[in-house]
Structure 1
Amino acid sequence: MGQQFMRVEEVAEILDVSTSYAYKVIRELNEELKRKGFITISGRVNREYFNERLYQARKENKNACL
C-alpha cells in the first residue's frame, strides 16, 4: 500500500520547485481541505487531493490552448 500523504520533498520534486515554494503549495491545499471540513497534517498533503488539484489545473490549461 502506497503512502497516503506526500511530504514537501516529493511535492517539490514533482512540481520542480524549491522546498519553500512546495511548503506554500501544501499550505494552500491544506487550507482548502480544512474549509471542506477535513483534518490536515502540517507539512504534508493528501496524495489523492494533490493529484486531483494538480491534474485538474493542467487539464484546464490544456483546454484553454485549444
Structure 2
Amino acid sequence: MSETLFIRAKDIAEEMGVSEAYGYKLIRQLNNELKEQGFVTVQGRLSRQYFEERIYGTKAKEEDK
C-alpha cells in the first residue's frame, strides 16, 4: 500500500484480511469517533494515521520511547 493521507475500504480489506464490506463498516465506526472529537471526515475514506493508531496502537508505542 502506498502512504497516502487516506485509506479506503479496499486497502483495509487487503491489509487486515477481511471483506471490503467489513472495511466500510470499520471506516464508518472510526469516522464517527473522529466526528465526535470534532474532526472533519470524508465518507468512504479514513485518515491513515488514525487507522494505524486505533488498529495497531502506533501512538502508544511511540509514547513508550
Q: Which bracket does the TM-score occupy, shorter chain normalised?
A: 0.7 to 0.9
Q: Separation in 2 of the partners of 1:3 and 1:55?
A: 17
Are 2:52 and 1:55 aligned? no
Gap runs ≥5 in structure 2: 61-65
State the superposition RMSD in angstroms. 1.3
Question: Which deviations, in whole Å up to 9, do the C-alpha atoms of 1:5-42 show, x marking residues without a partner?
Answer: 00111011111100101100000000000000000001
* Unmatched runs of 5 consecutive residues or more in structure 1: 60-66
Identity of aligned residues (%): 48
Matched, 1:28 2:29: yes
Relative to the length of structure 2, the TM-score reads: 0.81
Which residue type is aligned with residue 38 of structure 1? Answer: F
| Partner secondary structure for residue 7 of structure 2 | strand
Aligned equivalents of 1:47, 1:34: Cα separation in 2: 15
Task: Name the count of aligned residue pairs.
Answer: 56
Q: Which runs of 4+ in 1 moved over 3 A?
A: none
